[in-house]
Amino acid sequence: RCFANQHAHKLLNAFVGAAKDVALFQHELQAANERSKEGRAKSPIDGHLIAIKDNICTTGEPTTCASAILEGFHSPYPATVVEKLKGTGALIIGKTNLDEFGMGSHSTNSIYGPVKNIYTQDGDHLSAGGSSGGSAVAVATGQCDAALGTDTGGSVRLPAAYTGIVGFKPSYGLVSRWGVVAYANSLDTVGVLAKDSSVARSVFNVINGHDPRDPTSLSTSTRSRIEKYVIDRSAKHLWGASPLLRIGVPIEYNTEELQPTVKEAWLGTLQRLQQLGHTIHILSLPATKMALSAYYVLAPAEASSNLAKYDGVRYGNKSAEREGTDNVLYAATRGSGLGEEVKRRILLGSYSLSAAAIDNYFIKAQKVRRLVQRDFNNAFALSHPLLDEQAISSTEDKVDIILTPTAQSMPPKLDDLDTADPLEAYKADVMTVPASLAGLPAMSVPVSEEPSIGMQIIAQYGDDDLIFDFAQIIE
Ligand code: GLN
């Protein structure tokens, strides 16, 4: 681990406040070292340094979501994921910077100022991606072994791709969201960022599990049903002895906007896989084209409801203007406490849920979400374990895994973002939102460091382990 360059790291603004000095953990690290030497490590991540995105509650320090409305907010309890990590000997080194409430693609919508990528171009810092950009840079600079992020529409995968590390978003419902500040709860997941997939896997194994406090957390019986189903498939399938996979390449991801360097990296990865004996299958996921628009209707709609509680009374810092009616207090509190992008989403969401617009926007977007799910189900050999019980349908034209780029283009320069239209930032999510809408596990794996290019692996619901196995082949 390289902790030498702490000053330079600070300038990248990955942490909210400062990362804890590693010296503070000297005793714990020594103890963990001894435990590991004696073969009694608490877990594979005993003594690992982990950073936590600042929209995940911890009790030692504030949890602010990079928002003025929550500045100085101390959660009375820690998130389940944080508790789980601590129980396995991991050491929490600090909270990381993000886009306010997770809304953004470049980690620039923050009261703490933008996160800067470790990579520069012509002397200018590039975007670290968002919204878990702080977590990504904390890992990329070696300030921690792994970091937790949240991924609603790509916020773990995009920063991972932009900073040259691994970013994993699990199947929806596997990892508890208790103590994770909601952005769009039907899409929100807690993900892991790490230098390589084996560390990410160890962290995921610790945080994966049923939590009775999260109503969307999968029950233990459903988990064992999924496990059995996936194992049955593996037994019937070719692999085991000879782990050859059928890899799907969706034509819709070969967009006009796909930058040539990204396309080359995609083709290069596919060629490598082919040389190893895996087979490549071109397929179509027709609803992909509508996924981004549907996402930007659904996510703001849920956000407008989730963020209604920050009114200065139930939650959040009260504005000083307390005179007058309740409406004045609410308006003043929300007007000064929430950032531009958050306000834009609340307005968009309130509009698409309004009586005049709901049929044309919200309901249509829900239908598109179903179509996106159906597309993926048609593509995978493994059927969706929660939707039906049938085993593998004919594997002839079906695939085990899908491989696409994580982003259409290289990270933009931070300076160029100032003038960019907000729609440009939305477009950065075009490759990542389909898996989010379908609740599928997905991972960004770096295939090139400078420039930093990530490939996205998508698998059927519950097939998270296959993603980790496959990542080891391409990383
Ligand atoms: N960029 C997307 C958005 O702003 C994704 C955010 C996320 O996954 N938290 O909604």
Give, in order, the Cα–Cα distances in Å from 328 to each of 66, 318, 325, 334, 352. 24, 11, 5, 10, 25
- Ligand 1 atom at minimum distance from 341 CA: 4
Question: How do beta strands 49-53 and 146-151 pair?
Answer: parallel
From the CA of 304, how far away is ligand 1's center (Å)?
14
Residue 288 Cβ inside 6 Å of ligand 1? The answer reads: no
Q: What is the per-residue pLDDT for 241?
A: 47
Q: Please give the structure tokens belonging to residue 38.
A: 């004696």
- Domain 1-475: CATH class, spelled out: alpha beta
From the CA of 189, how far away is ligand 1's center (Å)?
11
Question: Does residue 53 have an active-site annotation?
Answer: yes
Query: Which residues of the chain have a pLDDT value below 50?
Result: 1-4, 238-241, 391
From the CA of 181, how far away is ligand 1's center (Å)?
14
Options 67, 107, 127, 155, the catalytic residue: 155
Query: Under the phi-then-psi rule, with left for phi > 0, alpha for psi from -120 to 50, and beta for the rest, what region is 240?
Result: left
Q: What is the per-residue pLDDT for 3?
A: 43
Q: What are φ and ψ of residue 458, in 5° steps?
A: -125, 135
Question: Does residue 198 have an active-site annotation?
Answer: no
Q: Residue 308: which residues within 8 A CB-CB, separation 6 or more?
A: none
Question: Does residue 155 have an active-site annotation?
Answer: yes
Options 107, 131, 135, 383, the catalytic residue: 131
From the CA of 151, how far away is ligand 1's center (Å)?
7
Q: Please give the structure tokens belonging to residue 8.
A: 């330079």
Distance of CA 392 to the CA centre of its chain: 29
Q: Please give the structure tokens belonging to residue 355.
A: 């009586």
Residue 299 Cβ inside 6 Å of ligand 1? The answer reads: yes
Question: How do beta strands 49-53 and 91-96 pair?
Answer: parallel
Q: What is the per-residue pLDDT for 323?
A: 62
